[in-house]
Amino acid sequence: MEGIIYPASLIFLAILVFIFYQGRNNLLMLISLGIGIYIVYSHETGNTATDFKNDIIKSIDNKAEEFDKTHSNKSFD
């Protein structure tokens, strides 16, 4: 069942893009295309938006720890 979700979601998005194109709703068409591109990208590479967010949070945390060490601030958590 899980193997059908990926192609079914792409087919659903292709139908939505076609409907939005026929209805001349370019903004929703572009949003749907972007969602489809994200689905294909995350499926092929394994990189997701959550991984990207976690990497940014770790980077900010590391920079804050470096700042704390260089400025010897004792009240920083």
Taking only the tens place, the pLDDT of each residue in 27-65 is 999 999 999 999 999 999 989 999 999 999 999 999 988
Quote the pLDDT of residue 28.
96
Residues 66 and 44 sit within 8 Å (Cβ to Cβ): no
- The helix/strand count (H/E) of the chain reads as 3, 0
Quote the pLDDT of residue 17.
96
Quote the pLDDT of residue 56.
95
> Domain limits of the chain?
1-46, 48-77
Taking the model in full, what pTM does it have?
0.70
Whether the per-residue pLDDT at 1 is higher than 60: the answer is no
- Angle at 22 (CA atoms; ends 21, 23), nearest 5 degrees: 90
CA 29 to chain CA mean position, Å? 18
